[in-house]
Amino acid sequence: MAADLLALRGITKSFGRVGVASGLDVTVSAGETLGIVGPNGAGKSSLFAIISGDLRPDSGTVTFDGTDVTRLPPHRRTRAGMGRTYQIPRPFEKMTVFENVLVCASEGGGRRKRAALELAASTLERSGLGPVANAPAGSLTLLQRKRLEVARGMATDPSLLLLDEVAGGLTEPEVAELVTLVRAVNAEGIAIVWIEHVVHALTATVDRLACLAGGRLVADGRPADVLADPLVRELYLGQAVTTGEDVA
C-alpha cells in the first residue's frame, strides 16, 4: 500500500448516459510499467484525464505519491511528477520543437535557466527530435508530433509517465525505437502507464498488463496471462486490431 505511487480508488465518471468509469480501482507502484488495453471508447483516455486532472471524477479518489490529488489542478499534478502525452497530439504549434520541450522542463520540471536548456536539449536528442529542434512544432508530421508528446512528457521530469497511443501508425522499426526509448526512461526509475492498441509494443515493454472495459479493469496481471484471458480475447477479437500476437 505504502509503496503505491499512484492509486485510484472507486473512481466513477460518466458523460450523461455514457459511463467511462464505474468503481474503478487502479494502482501503480514506483518504477513499474503498466500497459492498458481495451476496446475503442472503453474510457482509457478518460482514465488518463482523471489521473492528470483534466477531468474530475464524479466520485472516488486519486492519490499520487502519498497525497490526495483528486482536487488538484493539472499543472500542480505535473509539477508533482506526473508527465503525460495526448492521444491526439497537442503541440504548441507556433513555438519551435525546442521551445515546446523547454517550457515543460522549466514549468513542469521546475528547472531554471541553464538547467532547463540542458534538460530540454538532452530530451530532444534522446527522443530523436534533435534535427527538427528549431522547426515550428506546427510543421511536424504526425509521427514527429507523437514523439514530441513523449519528449514533452519526459521533460517535465516525471516519476510517472502516462503514454496514450504513442505507437499508433508507426512502422515496425519506429515501434522498436520507441520501445527502446520507453524502456530507457523506465530504467531511470520512472513508472510508465501505457495505453496502446499495438499490443506487441506493450508486451515488449511492460511488466504488467490490464484490460479496461465497461468502466473497470476486467483483467490485470502478467501480460501473457491477460492476453490469454478468454474475456480479453473476446473483447479484442471482436475488433480489427493489429496485435502482432507473438505474446512474450
Partner 1 sequence: MSGVVVRRSARSSRFGAAGLIAVAAVLALLPFVAYESVTSSLVTLFVLVTIASMWNLLAGFGGLVSIGQQAFIGVGAYTVIYLADHGVSPFVAIPLAALTAAVLAVPTSLLAFRLRGDYFAVGMWVIAEVYRLLLSRVDALGGASGRSLEGMAGMDQTLRAAATYWAALAVTVVAVLGCYWLLRGRVGLALTAVRDDEIAARAAGVDVTRAKRIVFLASAAGCGAAGGVLVIDALSVQPNAIFSVQWSAYMIFIVVIGGIGYLEGPILGAIVFFALQELLSDAGTWYLIVLGLIAMASALFMPRGLWGQVIDRTGMRLFPVGYHLERHVGTGRA
Closest separation in Å from C-beta 53 to partner 1: 8
Pattern 119-148, partner 1, x by CB under 8 A: --xx-xx----xx-xx--------------
75 contacts partner 1 (rule: CB under 8 A): yes
Residue range at the interface with ligand ATP (CB under 6 A); choices 14-22, 26-34, 125-133, 166-174: 14-22
190 contacts partner 1 (rule: CB under 8 A): no
Closest separation in Å from C-beta 25 to partner 1: 24
Phi-psi bin for 25: left (phi > 0), alpha (psi -120 to 50), beta?
Answer: beta
20 contacts ligand ATP (rule: CB under 6 A): yes
Pattern 85-104, partner 1, x by CB under 8 A: -x---xxxxxxx-xxx-xxx
Q: Which of 5, 4, 24 has the alpha carbon at shortest distance from 13?
A: 24
Pattern 155-174, partner 1, x by CB under 8 A: -x------------------
Size of the site for partner 1 (CB under 8 A): 42
Considering only residues 21 through 40, tell me which ones interact with ligand ATP, judged by CB under 6 A: 38, 40
Residue 159 touches which member of partner 1, Mg ion, ligand ATP, none, C-beta under 5-8 Å by kind: none
Q: Which of 101, 193, 192, 191 has the alpha carbon at shortest distance from 144?
A: 101
> Quick one: 33 or 106, whose CB is closer to partner 1?
106
Pattern 32-71, partner 1, x by CB under 8 A: --------------------xxx-----------------
Torsion of CA 45, 50, 53, 59, to 10 degrees: 160
b (16+ CB within 10 A) / e for 46-70:
bbbbbbbbebebeebebbbeeeebb
Closest separation in Å from C-beta 97 to ligand ATP: 25
Pairing of β 67-68 and β 191-195: unpaired
73 contacts ligand ATP (rule: CB under 6 A): no
53 contacts ligand ATP (rule: CB under 6 A): no
Residue 198 to residues 172, 190, 221, 241, Cα–Cα distance (Å): 10, 22, 18, 8
Q: Which residues bind partner 1 (CB under 8 A)?
A: 52-54, 73-75, 78-79, 84, 86, 90-96, 98-100, 102-104, 106-110, 112, 114, 117-118, 121-122, 124-125, 130-131, 133-134, 152, 156
- Interaction site with ligand ATP (CB under 6 A): 15, 18, 20, 38, 40-46, 87
